């Protein structure tokens, strides 16, 4: 079945925060992870530009987390 969780990402020492949902759902023989939410960077005038870079970092972190999970699940028991 489908599972959802509230997601809050607060970058320590930075004026950036994301709130949203993380959803795990069946996808063929595996599982799909969906992340949705709102990202805000509280920096006057340039916050929107910085949000794009922060979003790239969040996507990269999620990809690393997926690779780590796959490696852990495929290890011999």
Helix, strand, coil percentages, rounded to 5, for the chain: 35, 40, 25
pLDDT, residue 11, reads 85
pLDDT, residue 8, reads 96
Q: Is the pLDDT of residue 17 over 90?
A: yes
Per-residue pLDDT reduced to its tens digit, 19-56: 999 999 999 998 999 999 999 999 998 888 899 999 99
Task: Give percent of the chain above pLDDT 90.
Answer: 77
Confidence of residue 77 (pLDDT cuts 50, 70, 90): confident
């Amino acid at each position: 079945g489908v599972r959802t969780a509230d997601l809050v990402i607060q970058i320590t020492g930075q004026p950036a925060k994301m709130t949203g949902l993380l959803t795990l759902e069946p996808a063929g023989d595996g599982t799909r992870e969906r992340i949705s939410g709102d990202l805000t960077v509280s920096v006057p005038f340039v916050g929107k530009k910085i949000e794009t870079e922060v979003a790239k970092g969040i996507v990269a972190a999620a990809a690393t987390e997926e690779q780590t999970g796959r490696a852990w699940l495929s290890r011999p028991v």
